[in-house]
Every structure is written in C-alpha cells, then in structure tokens.
Amino acid sequence: MATALTPRQAEILNLIEDLIEKNGFPPTRAELAKILGFRSINAAEDHLRALAKKGYIELKTGASRGIRILQSNREPASSEVSLSTATSSNEDSFQLPLVGRVAAGSPILATENVIDEYQVPHSLFKSKPDYLLTVKGMSMRNIGIMDGDLLAVRKTQDALNGSIVVARIGEEVTVKRLQKAKNKIILLPENEDFEPIEAHGDEDFALEGIAVGLIRNTALH
C-alpha cells in the first residue's frame, strides 16, 4: 500500500497524470522543472524519487520519459467509466467507433474495420479522440498500456518525437512510441522484451493517429 503524499507531492503527481493524458506520454525531468519553476532538474528528480519511494510511480533507468504511474492519487476515473453501446447521444457524451483488426490497405475507419461503437463521456478526455483501438499484446506495458485496454486515438498524420502513436507498417498496425531519425522512423516499445521497429523511406508506412487517452479493459465489464 502506497504511503500518503504531501500536498506538494500530490500536486506533482497530478501534473504528471495531466501531461500523460494531454500528450500521450510522460514528461521529462526538464519539462517538469520548467513547469514547476525549479531552477534545477535535480529538484524535479528528487520529487520523482520521493513519489517512487512511496509507491506511486516507477522510474525507468536511462529513459528521459521513463515515468510510469503505479497508483493515482485521484479518485478512480477511467477504470470505473461505464461504456455503453451507442444507441443514442446526449449532451454529456459522444460516440466513438471501436476499431478491430485493420484490413490490409484500408483506411483505419473503414466500415469493415469498425466492430462496435461506444457512448463515451465528454469528461473522459481533454482532447477529443476520433476512435478507440483495442491494444494487442504487452509491448507498451512499462507505461501502463496493457493488452485489452482501449486506446483513445486522435487522427493525425504528424506527431512529435516521443509521442505514443498508432502506426501502420505494411499490413500491420501497431502502438508504439515515435522516434524520428534521418531517413527512417523508429517505433519504440515500452517493454524490454520487445525490439524496436524501423521503417525506412521506401517502406509502406502511415501514421494513423496519436494517443490521447486510455480506457482500462475493466471498464467494459
């Protein structure tokens, strides 16, 4: 069981969660230090280590964005959200298509790829997604994206380095962290058991969107 946080620690943990929800990935120490007004990155590191010691986050050695939330200090939200099949709409929610296995060569939101639609509360996401994608496998485990979770995705053909993206390489669609390099794109897993995927200029590569949120699979039951 995690130890109670000081008000300052709770503030920083909430900030980290807000940034993950907004950007789809954790902040760096430098970004935290800038937002919080610290003169030194070491001050941000000290707070992160305190949060890790109390069991709220996990710090991945050698990764600039290696912050994984283990326990939220907030009231549970996404894990308790009730999703219903979309039969009607109201002012407090909107419909999102759930994408299943993507047919080779077809647009990700093509009719044959959409297996269901859900009514989703507006309050669940700060940036409105265009669709939900069921996560397959555990390649993003270290940042809390698990097999069976629903990834909320905003369609875009461009994303910043470090973003969590949905990408298509050939006939495969995958969720990975984006890294742009000269003449190639690298899709990085967040699990040491998986290898990075490289896409070179002559390969069939497409960016299908950027992650803007996550719904735990327990929300469906």
Q: Among this protein's residues, is 180 annotated catalytic?
A: no
Q: Which among 37, 69, 101 is the end of a domain? A: 69
Q: How many domains does the chain have?
A: 2
Which domain covers residue 18, as residue numbers? 7-69
Residue 204 CB neighbour total at 10 angstroms: 11
Residue 42 CB neighbour total at 10 angstroms: 11
Q: Which of 53, 139, 155, 182 is flagged as catalytic? A: 139
- Residue 199 is predicted with a pLDDT of 84
Contact 145, 175 (CB under 8 A): yes
For residue range 113-132, list pLDDT tens digits in order. Answer: 899 998 888 777 777 899 99
In this structure, are 58 and 143 located in the same domain?
Answer: no
In this structure, are 118 and 21 located in the same domain?
Answer: no
Does the pLDDT of residue 195 top 90, yes or no? yes
Mean pLDDT of the chain: 81
For residue range 42-95, list pLDDT tens digits in order. Answer: 999 999 999 999 988 889 887 778 888 887 765 433 333 445 554 455 567 888
For residue range 135-177, list pLDDT tens digits in order. Answer: 888 898 887 788 888 899 999 888 877 788 999 887 788 999 8
Q: Among this protein's residues, is 84 annotated catalytic?
A: no
CA distance 159 to 157: 7
Structure tokens at 118: 């859900």
Q: Which of 176, 180, 182, 184 is flagged as catalytic? A: 176
In this structure, are 62 and 108 located in the same domain?
Answer: no
Sign (positive or negative) of CA dihedral 22, 25, 30, 32: positive
Contact 143, 190 (CB under 8 A): yes
Residues 27-56 have a mean pLDDT of: 91
- Residue 14 is predicted with a pLDDT of 86
In this structure, are 53 and 127 located in the same domain?
Answer: no
Does the pLDDT of residue 194 top 80, yes or no? yes
In this structure, are 129 and 214 located in the same domain?
Answer: yes
Residue 177 CB neighbour total at 10 angstroms: 23
